[in-house]
């Protein structure tokens, strides 16, 4: 993997369903991985900062895991709600803080 890739690109789920999506990234020179939530017409807001292989983070119904050796992170949303509708971005940082690369995002729409 040469770039930061996210899949799927978009996702529609019913309210109450649980869902997950993937961020894949080059594993070399890994420093940190960020997850951001980006609502339409707003600016991205940080959800998680993950730094160690095996990290698991949780905030309410949203959680994330990290595998730095194989270069992927999963974001999980349990019991999706309409207010979860947003684009979820991941960003990989490598040594040298300025070298941050964003993924293309997963656009989630939760249908009431």
Partner 1 sequence: DTAVSQTPKYLVTQMGNDKSIKCEQNLGHDTMYWYKQDSKKFLKIMFSYNNKELIINETVPNRFSPKSPDKAHLNLHINSLELGDSAVYFCASSQEGQGAKNTEAFFGQGTRLTVV
Tell me: cis bond preceding 8? Omega within 30 of 0 counts. yes
Q: How far apart are CA 32 and CA 53, in angstroms?
A: 10
**Binding-site string for partner 1 from residue 2 to residue 41, where x marks contact by CB under 8 A and - marks none:** -----------------------------xx-x-------
If binding is defined by CB under 8 A, does position 94 make contact with partner 1? no
Nearest to partner 1 of 42, 112 (CB atom): 42
User: CB 49 → partner 1: shortest distance, Å?
Assistant: 5
Nearest to partner 1 of 77, 91 (CB atom): 91
Going from the C-alpha of 110 to that of each of 20, 38, 67, 77, 107, the distances in angstroms are: 13, 14, 27, 11, 10
């Amino acid at each position: 993997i040469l770039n930061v890739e996210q899949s799927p690109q978009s996702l529609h789920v019913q309210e109450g369903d649980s869902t997950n999506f993937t961020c894949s990234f080059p594993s070399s020179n890994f420093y940190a991985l960020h997850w951001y939530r980006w609502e339409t017409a707003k600016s991205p807001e940080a959800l998680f900062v993950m730094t160690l292989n095996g990290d698991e983070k949780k905030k309410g119904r949203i959680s994330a895991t990290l595998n730095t050796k194989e270069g992927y992170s999963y974001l999980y949303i349990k019991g999706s709600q309409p207010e979860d509708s947003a684009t979820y971005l991941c960003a990989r940082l490598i040594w040298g803080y300025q070298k941050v690369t964003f993924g293309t995002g997963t656009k989630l729409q939760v249908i009431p």
